[in-house]
Amino acid sequence: MSTFPLVLAPSSSSHLPFLFPSSQTPFDPLTMMQATEKNITVSQTPAQDGNVSRHSPRTGNLADQQGMERMNKKQETRRDFKNVTMLAFSMILMCSWEGVLSTSAIAFSNGGRAGALYTNLAVWLGFIAVNYDYVYLLRRLGADQATRQYHWVSELAPKRWQKFLSYVVGWLGVLGWQTGIAFSGYLTGTQIQGLLVLNYPGYVFERWHGTLLIIAMLSFAVFFNTVLAHRLPLVEGLILFIHVFGFIGIFATLLALSPKASHQAVWNTFYDPGWNKVGLSTLIGGLVAATAPLLGADAAGKSTHKELQDAAYTLPRVMTLATFANGLMAFVMLIAICYCIGDIEAVLSTPTGYPFIQIFYNTTGSLAATNAMTAFIIILSASSCITIMSGSSRQLFAFARDDGLPFSKWVARVRPGLDVPVNAILVSFTFAACISLVNIGSTAAFNSITSLGTGTLTISYIICLSCMVWLRIAGKPLLPSRFDLGRSFGLALNITAVGFLVLVFVIAFFPPVPEPLLTVVSMNWSILIFGVVVLFSMLYYFLWGRKVYVGPVEYVRVLE
């Protein structure tokens, strides 16, 4: 604890009392970050017997306890996750090679096979650069608070903008992950419908059937995140096994049984459906298709870092390995699909709605084999929905605990004995279920809402990393980090990451098809929804939020 005089400040029921120096000196987070270097170093090494204080599934080790104390937060959830199970959580949430199978149709219809491959590789490298910035911030600020974009912005933004920017980024992050729940449930439900179409030609693909399957999947995710919450780490470990060996089995089957396209057709053939610019067509299709499966490596930190033992040591390694491993598996699977797809137009027009199901059937010629291979994808998609529900509800819970949302006290309540934010989980379920009802009226409208997630998450990353660029350019003091490439090269990598994310943000709002194919129904209306959400969050902030929201940085205290 600090050696100078301290004043006990009042706190709400969701925060521990916090301490500030008794002087009237304005609070400067950069000075605070320099002063806390000795605290952060305690979490730079794995937990050993000498630095564990009353280690338990609830409190974690000494570094975990100091992190919670520094942020003036109560430990309200159990720390059930460890290294392997947190890696499983992150990899299953991303579900990258499975996601590539589901989204590849977008890339093949805009850019072709070559466009899909090159943009996938570029996006993978881009997210590696973004991941470096995340890990650097984790090393600098510690895992106690550097796990959500609005926390980062609250500490790194210029002082006059800290509160406002943190609030807006918090809203965008919550919205992005909430729409992700609905989209994940949609993929799982409609993949089941695709199998029904394949096995029963008389089955009529009704949108309301898909909506019921989405709600059923969401209910299953709620059950897992409440009743079976303490078993979630074990289940994640088992699903990781399926994730890896399912990839090997499907990849080997495709290569062994499918006729192969030529190298020229795979690596040098692009397709432009009418944009009149192959490069633009490739960006619109390939960038969107590759971003969704690779977005979210930081989810392990922003969602369950307070449920992870030795979080400061584990999180950077989990995020790095998840990005590299999932990106590699996705790229390798995409190569296999590009060589084995056969007649692209026939596959894209499959009545199943998912080209990969048709590819499996064309490859094996067997309904049983196709059902078995697709079952792996459905199981993993369902597991991803469970994981996204877990992560999104924790994001919602954290922002509500910082008084960033309407009815924050109720949303952030954790009932004694349950150890999970049930109220936040129920809000997440209700929001996703309401969005799924839109699918009954229009799948295009539903897709516009759910595609909003890419734009909102991306802009939250952009704001956060731009603050990091500002600190470097302005020559502000930065804490040393073991994961540091120096000021010049670090700045170059920061700018590269921001530039990449800006490109993703812009392309995310492009329509999926060019004129004259573009209609009112097929238009991407997510830009309109994005504007409405930003406007609403700003109005709520100025009318009410600024009176109760102070930003996470105001709760930070300096430990010795």
pLDDT in tens, 353-408: 999 999 999 999 999 999 999 999 999 999 999 989 988 998 899 899 888 888 88
- CA distances (Å), origin 223, targets 218, 302, 414: 9, 22, 17
- Where are the alpha helices (H) located in 142-231, listed in sequence order? 149-156, 162-199, 207-226
* Residue 497 domain boundaries: 81-547
484 in a structural domain: yes
Continuous segment of H or E residues that includes residue 256: helix 232-257
Nearest CA-CA partner of 188 in 21, 346, 369, 379: 379
Percent with pLDDT over 90 in the chain: 36
530 in a structural domain: yes
- Where are the alpha helices (H) located in 480-520, listed in sequence order? 487-507
179 in a structural domain: yes
237 in a structural domain: yes
Nearest CA-CA partner of 468 in 65, 7, 155: 155
135 in a structural domain: yes
CA distance 390 to 304: 8
Question: In 10 A of CB 465, how many CB atoms?
Answer: 26
- Model confidence pTM above 0.85: no
142 in a structural domain: yes
Q: How many domains, in total, are found in the chain?
A: 1
Do you know the residue count of the chain? 560
**pLDDT tens figures, 85-129:** 778 888 888 888 999 998 888 899 999 999 999 999 999 999 999
Whether 153 contacts 467, CB under 8 Å: yes
* Structure-token match 């590269």, residue found: 496
76 in a structural domain: no
CA distance 494 to 294: 19
Burial class (CB in 10 A: 0-12, 13-18, 19+), 332: middle
Handedness of CA 44, 80, 378, 177 (dihedral sign): negative
CA 187 to chain centre: 16
pLDDT at 294: 86
Residue 411's domain is classified under what CATH number? 1.20.1740.10
284 in a structural domain: yes
pLDDT at 526: 87
Q: Which residues of the chain have pLDDT under 70?
A: 1-83, 139-148, 299-313, 478-486, 553-560
